[in-house]
Chains A and B, each alone.
Chain A
Amino acid sequence: MTQTKGTLYKGREGMWSWVGHRITGVGIFFFLLVHVLDTSLVRVSPEAYDAVIGAYKNPIMIVGEIGLVGAIVFHAFNGLRIILVDFWSQGTRYHRQMLWTVMGLWVITMIGFTVRHLMLFFEGWGGF
């Protein structure tokens, strides 16, 4: 009798993608609360909005933005993978391959975004 090591789920791709989806989801949710509040400052005054948005335009926040976009892109691609697992007849058979596809697309998307975002930031940045 052949026995697989461990279990099909625990400690494997299925579990880790679920953990990643939860953590990125919670992070994005709290950012969203703050983001609606800072955008709402356009209703207070142009100066208030520009002052708070100005705080996003420094290198520390740029790193944070890249992290945020990284979380969003993973949550988006892995979410599409979950939809395929649920609705595509071959979804459960290929869920692992689809996770590696998600990770590959994530790396490509993040390289593109990070390069473009940093270039635009340093072009218009006046220093501290």
Chain B
Amino acid sequence: MTTTKSDALLPAQGIEAPRSGRIDPKYLRSGSSKSGSFEMAAWVFMRVSGAALVVLIFVHLAVNLLVGEGIHQIDFGFVAGKWANPVWQFWDLAMLWLAMLHGGNGMRTIINDYAEKDSTRMWLKSILYLSVIVIIVLGTMVIFTFEPCLLDNSGQLLESSPSFCQNV
């Protein structure tokens, strides 16, 4: 029997794919499992939310930092002025939810990659999920329960109120 030279040199022959037999079945592309379809959905979500976040965040940065007085314009009145407009409320809400879920899923991937001990992985992911939930709930409540025209004890409008409060 003769072994041709090309047989010995072609890397695709005789060498098993990396991690052969050591891959969690949920990551195999054959068959369908529940967690496999979750990972697929997460993969699609990263691309869809990522594309949306590019637009949402670039406009956010331009409007807050590059027009008007830039960073010096940002104070309570500035935030109040923006959130008086439902478009900016929705804008910031979309940014909050998409960015936290996108970032949360990225952190989940990184934890899965580097934390090899089951208990470490479980703890890190528990802290991550709790942080994501707290930040999303807190941010959503702030956007929808915000009161721009605050009064002091004597019933006078606070100085920091935006100008449109004078007319209400």
Contacts and interface: CB of A to CB of B under 8 A. Distances in A.
A124 to B, nearest CB: 4
Interface residues of B, number: 41
Consensus secondary structure, chain A interface: helix
B122 interface: no
Given A1-B9, A40-B142, A124-B72, A33 B131 contact: yes
A46 B76 CA distance: 5
A69 B107 contact: no
Given A76-B58, A80-B54, A42 B142 contact: yes
17 contacts: A22-B106, A25-B103, A32-B100, A32-B135, A42-B76, A42-B146, A46-B150, A46-B158, A56-B74, A76-B58, A80-B54, A82-B50, A83-B47, A83-B50, A120-B65, A120-B70, A123-B72
B72 A46 contact: no
Interface of B: 9, 47, 50-51, 53-54, 57-58, 61, 65-66, 69-72, 74-77, 79-80, 96, 99-100, 103-104, 106-107, 110, 131, 135, 138-139, 141-142, 145-146, 150, 158, 160-161
Contact of B65 (A36, A82, A117): A117
Interface residues of A, number: 41
Contacts of B150: 45-46
Contacts of B74: 53, 56
A45 to B, nearest CB: 8
A128 interface: no
Contact of B135 (A22, A25, A36, A83): A36
A26 B124 CA distance: 14
A67 B9 CA distance: 47
